[in-house]
Amino acid sequence: MKKQTRIYDLFWALLLIQVFLTIMTSLSQRIILPLVIFPGMSVFFLFYLRYLLGYNLKQSSSEPLFVLRRYGVGTSLNPQNPLGYKISLLLVMGVLIFLFCLNLFALLNP
DSSP 47-67: HHHHHHHGGGGS--TTS-SEE
Bridge partners (DSSP) listed for residue 66: 77
Rounded Cα gap, residues 103 and 27, in angstroms: 13
Residue 87: per-residue pLDDT: 93
Compute the average pLDDT of residues 96-101: 85
pTM of this structure:
0.75
**87: CB partners within 8 A, 6+ apart:** 77
d(CA 18, CA 21): 5
Residues contacting residue 16 through CB under 8 Å, at least 6 positions apart: none
**d(Cα 95, Cα 97) in Å, to the nearest integer?**
5
**Tens digit of pLDDT for each residue in 47-86?**
888 888 877 667 888 889 999 988 889 998 888 888 998 9
Report the 10 Å Cβ neighbour count for 94. 11
Name the 3-class secondary structure at 76.
strand
